């Protein structure tokens, strides 16, 4: 009976996580909730290692310079760690969500965000992840994590986020 | 000539009262031509419609605002008593006020609650009647009747089709809620088509005005949907692996150009309006997006960064192998969001100069570019069905609003709905019944 309840709880929490991705909410909140949950280790999509703050796999964001989609050297270890995880867990799937700052055309920014997500995907496949494990998409300027209209906010929003299936 | 028409209740919209702010007060516009105004503006006086104070909705104000917003008319002081009959007109008085045209009208509430609205359009110099028109409308359709009157006047005096009875679509963000709304061309009578807690962008009207394509992020990524306005039924027409966006209708309404990342990058594809028959159109290693069909359906213009910065290109849709794109814009390092004029002779787009993003128009034959706005963050220009006005999104004090600029850039007005952050406007086609 306990087991059933915890499974239900996970279901509730993950449903919660998928619904709270609002523009201003950021992604810290659902992550914290999921980390506190008794995650079943048997499910590769909910592997606790992905949420362990001491593990590099808990780091999920790659940032970019203005008008750039090049993965900077400081994010190479992060991207490689996720690629290795995907290589070692054939059932794992990731969604890479590229983002752009608010300046300019929404559709062009959507395409810019796509370039950013694609750059992370390319780096991951070069490090051994399978193409079929990765979907790169763009949220453009539509879901800013920082809602200010200044350089600090714009820098925060030039970003690719790595989300595992089930998150 | 006496024409009669009965206003049909084509749209049974839920009425939502929205605020129509005119950036320049009407009174000031009596003497001052907004933003310079051209010598081509027709000075027109619209006398207050008789007995309209008994109605919930003034007809005179709506007709006047419509004509003024077009940029082709200058409102002349029409204060004074209402005139029901052309025989009451003292032409010398209107001539002295500077009016070339005069509108007089009257309203009568009928026993069944409907309203009879009649008006006369007079040529002041020749002292002749140009139009005599009567219509009977339900009391809640008075704004629609006023728009129709403005269309009749506009068409008679300019020889061009009026667009005051058309509709616009746009997206409102309020808190974390997003709504795709449809409203009258002046921003009134707004109605939500869909509401989500995830973003919606890029609404595009089908050529017959019965459907709207748009991009929704409700499924953690952009997906293109087509929704039928009458039934609210909707269908995902592009939901491929990766991102799906930037829908544009072919002029015959049978196909959509969409942008997919399915085969790498962001590239333009064609898909049937029911989602079948996917076919790749553009071939580049970079970004190709924001497609827009030419009115003859033979070519598209689009935004591409293939030359290092976003610029506007044109390529054929049929015949020759794709990839043969011709660059159209050369001024500046950021030219995006192109839309053909409906006559196909020019295109409007967003041009960045310095830190400003403005609406511009470029002639396809001469390549001459004209800036139409001078605000800071203008986006998503959409032409009126008669090409005489352009609807676009702009920003005032951090809040998104819609504005209209005349095609010569001389008249600009803000359509300010009451609440929320408004963006992504799209001007709908002419009503099919015309």
The closest CB to that of B287, out of A22, A24, A111, belongs to A111
B37 vs A: CB within 8 A: no
What integer best gives the mean pLDDT of chain A?
79
Given this model, what pLDDT does residue B419 score? 75
Q: Which residues contact A45 (CB under 8 A, 6 or more apart)?
A: A91, A92, A93, A164, A165, A166, A167
The C-alpha atoms of residue B347 and residue B366 are separated, in whole angstroms, by 12
As a whole-number percent, the residues of chain A with pLDDT over 70 amount to 72
Query: pLDDT value at position A157?
Result: 96
pLDDT tens per residue across span A23-36: 232 232 333 333 33
What percent of chain A clears pLDDT 90, i.e. is strictly above it? Answer: 63
CA B398 to chain centre: 23
Residues in contact with B248: Cβ distance below 8 Å, sequence separation at least 6, in sequence order: B204, B256, B257, B258, B291, B292, B293, B300
Other residues' Cβ atoms within 10 Å of the Cβ of residue B408: 17
Of B176, B242, B243, the CB nearest to A24: B176
- The pLDDT score that the predictor gives to residue B12 is 26
DSSP label at residue B47: P
Coil, strand, or helix at residue A78?
A: helix
Mutation test of the interface with chain B: which of A108, A117, A120, choosing the one with the most B Cβ atoms within 10 A? Answer: A108
pLDDT (0 to 100) of residue A6: 43
Within 8 A of A25 by CB-CB distance, chain B residues are 176
Tell which residue, B13, B37, B44, has the closest CA to residue B149.
B44
Shortest distance between the Cα of B163 and any Cα of chain A, in A, equals 27
* Contact: A105, B287; criterion CB under 8 Å: no
A104 touches chain B (CB under 8 A): yes
Nearest-by-CA chain A residue for B196 = A22
Helical axes A106-126 vs A76-88, angle rounded to 10°: 60
> What Å distances lie between residue A50 and A12, A166, B430, CA to CA?
19, 12, 55
Q: Which residues are paired to B73 by β-bridges?
A: B42
Q: Which residues of A touch B245 (CB under 8 A)?
A: 107, 110
Structure token digits, residue B62: 């709506």
Task: Name the residue of chain B whose CA is nearest to A139's CA.
Answer: B221
**If 0-12 CB within 10 Å is exposed, 13-18 middle and 19+ buried, where does residue A98 land?**
buried
Give residue A9's pLDDT: 39
- CA–CA gap between residue B222 and residue B237 (Å, rounded): 12
pLDDT at residue A141 in the model: 96
Residues of chain B with pLDDT under 50: 1-37, 434
Structure token digits, residue B198: 């995830």
Q: Chain A contacts of B423, Cβ < 8 Å?
A: 106
- Mutation target among A114, A144, A165 for the B interface, most CBs of B within 10 A: A114
- How far is Cα B272 from Cα B192, in angstroms, rounded to an integer? 26
Query: From B304, which residue of chain A is nearest by alpha-carbon distance?
Result: A108
CA distance A22 to chain B (A): 7
Contact flag A135-B221 (C-beta cutoff 8 Å): yes
How far apart, in whole angstroms, are the C-alpha atoms of residue B276 and residue B163? 34
Q: Is residue B163 a contact partner of residue B175, using CB atoms and an 8 Å limit? A: no
Give the pLDDT confidence score for residue A93 in this predicted structure. Answer: 95
Residue A63 pLDDT grade (very low, low, confident, very high; cuts 50, 70, 90)? very high
Contact status of B337 with chain A (Cβ, < 8 Å): yes
> Residue B264 CA to chain centroid, in angstroms?
34
For B123, residues 6+ apart whose C-beta sits below 8 A from its C-beta are: B100, B101, B129, B130
Whether A105 and B350 lie within 8 Å, measured CB to CB? yes
Residues in A touching B246 (Cβ below 8 Å): 107, 110
What is the nearest CA distance from A136 to chain B, expressed in angstroms? Answer: 5
CB B337 within 8 A of CB B380: yes
The alpha carbon of residue A77 is apart from the nearest alpha carbon of chain B, in Å, by 24
Q: What is the pLDDT of residues A75-96, one digit of tens each?
A: 999 999 999 999 999 999 999 9
Helix ranges (H only) for chain A are 2-19, 28-36, 76-88, 106-126, 151-157
Model-wide pTM > 0.95: no
Say if residue A74's pLDDT is above 50.
yes
pLDDT of residue B26: 28
Task: Find the residue in B nearest to A136 (Cα).
Answer: B242
Task: Quote the tokens at residue B174.
Answer: 């309020």
Per-residue tokens: A60: 């999920």
Interface-testing mutation among B246, B266, B286, B339, with chain A (most A C-beta atoms within 10 A): B266
Three-class SS of residue A159?
Answer: strand
For residue range B386-419, list pLDDT tens digits in order.
Answer: 999 999 999 988 889 999 999 999 889 888 666 7
- Is B222 in contact with A139 (Cβ distance < 8 A)? yes
Number of Cβ pairs < 8 A linking chain A and chain B: 105
Tell me what ipTM this predicted complex has: 0.86
Q: DSSP per residue over B91-135, as a string?
A: HHHHHHTT-SEEEEEEEEE-TTS-EEEEEEEEETTTTEEEEEEEE
Question: CA-CA distance, B363 to B241, in Å (whole number)?
Answer: 38
Distance between CA B348 and CA B329 in Å, rounded?
A: 11
Two tokens, residue B205: 């009207």
Residue with tokens 């009928």: B110
Residue B405 has what DSSP assignment?
Answer: E
Q: Which two tokens stand for residue B413?
A: 């007005």
* pLDDT number for residue B319: 55
pLDDT the model gives residue B44:
97
- pLDDT at position A89 is 95
Q: Which of B261, B337, B353 would you mutate first to test chain A, the one with the most A CBs within 10 A?
A: B261
pLDDT on residue A45 = 54
Please give the residue of chain A at the shortest CA–CA distance from B349. Answer: A105
For residue B204, give the nearest of B282, B302, B290 by alpha carbon: B290
Structure tokens at B241: 């692996």
Q: A160 touching B, CB under 8 A?
A: no
- Residues of chain A with Cβ-Cβ distance to B222 below 8 Å are 110, 137-140
Q: Which helix (H) or strand (E) holds B143?
A: helix B142-158
Element (DSSP H or E) covering residue B235? strand B234-238
B182 touches B169 (CB < 8 A): yes
DSSP string, B285-337: SSBEEEEEE-TTSSEEEEEE-TTSS-EEEEEESSSSPTT--EE---SSS-EEE
pLDDT tens digits along B307-329: 999 999 999 997 555 558 999 99
């Amino acid at each position: 009976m306990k087991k059933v309840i915890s499974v239900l709880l996970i279901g509730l929490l993950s449903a919660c996580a998928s619904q709270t991705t609002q523009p201003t909410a950021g992604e810290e909140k659902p992550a914290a909730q999921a980390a506190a949950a008794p995650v079943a280790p048997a499910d590769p999509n909910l592997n606790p290692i992905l949420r362990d703050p001491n593990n590099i796999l808990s780091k999920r964001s790659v940032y970019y310079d203005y008008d750039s989609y090049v993965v900077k050297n400081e994010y190479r270890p992060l991207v490689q760690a996720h690629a290795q995880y995907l290589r070692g867990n054939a059932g794992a799937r990731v969604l890479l969500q590229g983002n752009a700052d608010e300046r300019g055309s929404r559709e062009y920014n959507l395409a810019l965000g796509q370039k950013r997500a694609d750059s992370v995907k390319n780096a991951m496949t070069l490090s051994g992840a399978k193409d079929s494990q990765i979907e790169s998409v763009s949220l453009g300027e539509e879901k800013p994590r920082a809602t200010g209209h200044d350089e600090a906010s714009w820098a925060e929003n030039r970003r690719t986020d790595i989300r595992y299936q089930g998150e | 000539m006496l024409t009669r028409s009965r206003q049909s209740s084509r749209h049974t919209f839920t009425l939502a009262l929205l605020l129509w702010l005119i950036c320049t007060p009407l009174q000031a516009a009596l003497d001052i031509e907004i933003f310079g105004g051209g010598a081509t503006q027709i000075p027109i006086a619209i006398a207050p419609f008789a007995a309209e104070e008994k109605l919930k909705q003034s007809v005179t104000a709506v007709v006047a605002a419509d004509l003024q917003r077009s940029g082709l008319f200058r409102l002349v002081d029409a204060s004074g008593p209402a005139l029901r009959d052309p025989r009451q007109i003292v032409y010398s008085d209107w001539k002295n006020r500077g009016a070339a045209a005069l509108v007089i009208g009257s309203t009568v509430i009928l026993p069944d609650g409907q309203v009879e609205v009649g008006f006369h359009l007079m040529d002041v110099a020749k002292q002749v009647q140009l139009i005599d028109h009567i219509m009977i409308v339900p009391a809640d359709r008075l704004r629609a009747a006023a728009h129709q009157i403005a269309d009749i006047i506009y068409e008679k005096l300019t020889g061009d089709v009026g667009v005051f009875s058309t509709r616009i679509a746009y997206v409102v963000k309020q808190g974390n809620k997003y709504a795709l709304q449809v409203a009258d061309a002046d921003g009134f009578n707004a109605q939500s088509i869909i509401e989500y807690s995830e973003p919606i962008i890029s609404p595009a009207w089908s050529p017959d005005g019965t459907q709207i394509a748009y991009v929704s992020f409700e499924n953690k990524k952009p997906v293109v949907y087509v929704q039928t306005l009458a039934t609210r039924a909707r269908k995902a027409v592009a939901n491929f692996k990766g991102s799906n966006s930037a829908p544009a209708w072919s002029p015959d309404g049978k196909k959509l150009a969409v942008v997919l990342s399915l085969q790498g990058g962001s590239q333009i594809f064609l898909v049937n309006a029911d989602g079948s028959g996917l076919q790749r159109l553009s071939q580049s290693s970079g970004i190709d997006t924001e497609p827009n069909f030419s009115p003859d359906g033979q070519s598209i213009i689009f935004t591409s960064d293939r030359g290092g910065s976003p610029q506007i290109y044109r390529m054929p849709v049929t015949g020759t192998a794709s990839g043969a794109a011709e660059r159209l814009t050369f001024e500046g390092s950021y030219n995006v969001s192109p839309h053909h004029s409906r006559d196909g002779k020019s295109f409007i787009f967003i041009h960045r100069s310095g830190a400003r993003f403005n609406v511009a128009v470029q002639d396809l034959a001469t390549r001459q570019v004209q800036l139409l706005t001078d605000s800071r963050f203008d986006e998503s220009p959409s032409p009126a069905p008669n090409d005489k006005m352009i609807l676009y999104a702009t920003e005032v004090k951090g809040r998104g609003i819609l504005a209209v600029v005349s095609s010569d850039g001389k008249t600009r007005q803000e359509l300010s709905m009451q609440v929320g952050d408004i963006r992504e406007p799209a001007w709908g086609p002419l009503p099919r019944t015309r």
